């Protein structure tokens, strides 16, 4: 399965934190670090992180990433989109390869 997710803190952050520009890059970095350390295939762009694997392992990583972001605010927003296709692997790149081939035809 592929799961694209976006996670961000909101509300008050840790005591003494300075977030004058409303940036969430430190919180997002904490989440992405967990994803990358998981060893599962993944890709991060400006809006989402996509991770590929089996149901339990993917959602465990997303849970841990969400908990890490929770350290940066009193609330957490989590958006998910999943492509559940049993028996298929390598779709993180495979879907793009098929798209590029179709565009080239």
Please give the CATH architecture assigned to the domain spanning 2-104.
2-Layer Sandwich (3.30)
Please tell me the predicted confidence (pLDDT) of residue 11: 84
pLDDT tens digits along 37-67 = 999 999 999 999 999 999 999 999 999 999 9
**Collapsing DSSP states into helix, strand and coil, what is residue 53?**
coil
Which pLDDT belongs to residue 12?
76
- Per-residue exposure over 16-50, b if at least 16 CB sit within 10 Å of its own CB, e if not: eeeeeeeebeebbebbbebbeebebebeeeeebbb
| Among 8-12, 19-23, 55-59, 69-73, the least confident range | 19-23
What is this structure's pTM?
Answer: 0.86
- pLDDT tops 60 at residue 31: yes
């Amino acid at each position: 399965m592929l799961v694209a997710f976006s996670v961000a803190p909101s509300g008050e952050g840790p005591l003494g934190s300075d977030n004058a520009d409303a940036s969430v890059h430190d919180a997002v970095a904490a989440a992405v670090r967990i994803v990358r350390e998981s060893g599962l295939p993944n890709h991060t762009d400006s809006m989402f992180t996509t991770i590929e694997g089996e149901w339990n392992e993917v959602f465990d990583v997303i849970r841990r990433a969400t908990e890490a972001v929770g350290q940066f605010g009193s609330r957490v927003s989590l958006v998910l989109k999943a492509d559940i296709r049993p028996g298929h692997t390598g779709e993180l790149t495979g879907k793009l390869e098929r798209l590029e081939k179709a565009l080239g035809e």
